[in-house]
Amino acid sequence: MNPGRCAACRYLRRKCPPDCIFSPYFPPNVPQRFVSVHRIYGASNVAKLLQQLPSHLRAEAAESLCMEVQYRIEDPVYGCVGLISSLQQQIHDAEKQLAKTQAEIAFLKSHAQHSQVALLDDAANLGFSNHQGSSGFM
């Protein structure tokens, strides 16, 4: 066994060439990572997906494929589309709660203004009758 082979080449029982498309993204110390993408996409499709990208984007692509595959293994029916639906529902709920909270603010602001105006009116009336009372006896 060649200890320098990447996880993909070990799993596929082949020599790991110096320009191996898998090697930088599937190190031998994390063998499950390759096993999972191979199980869902197949090694040749993963290789094709990576090869069509410029090399500086391949690490991110391999990472997103591994994440996608993880979601698909956890939820074989919906995969990460299930998570997308759940996140979209969370956003919808948060937007509803925000709209409700903003309406509450608008109500509180208008209520606070009305209360202050009413209290100022009361205070003015009291002040006015006090003034009248005083002047009446001057």
Burial class of 79 by CB neighbour count within 10 A (0 to 12, 13 to 18, 19+): middle
Site for a copy of itself (CB under 8 A): which residue of 42, 51, 55, 74?
42
Site for a copy of itself (CB under 8 A): which residue of 14, 24, 55, 126?
126
Q: Is residue 79 a contact residue for a copy of itself (CB under 8 A)?
A: yes
Residue 1 or 77 with smaller CB distance to a copy of itself = 77
- Span from 7-15, 16-24, 26-34, 113-121 in contact with a copy of itself (CB under 8 A): 113-121
Residue 5 or 38 with smaller CB distance to a copy of itself = 38
Determine the Cα–Cα distance for residues 43 and 26; give it in Å rounded to an integer.
Answer: 12
Q: How many CA atoms lie within 13 A of 78 on its CB side?
A: 7
Determine the Cα–Cα distance for residues 134 and 104; give it in Å rounded to an integer.
Answer: 44
Determine the Cα–Cα distance for residues 40 and 75; give it in Å rounded to an integer.
Answer: 12
Determine the Cα–Cα distance for residues 38 and 70; give it in Å rounded to an integer.
Answer: 12
Residue spans of beta strands (DSSP E) within the chain = none
Q: How far is the CB of 30 from a copy of itself (least distance, A)?
A: 18
Interface residue list for a copy of itself (CB under 8 A): 40-42, 44-45, 49, 52-53, 57, 60-61, 63-65, 67-68, 72, 76-84, 87-88, 90-91, 94-95, 97-98, 101-102, 104-105, 108-109, 111-112, 115-116, 119-120, 122-123, 126-127, 129-130, 133-134, 137
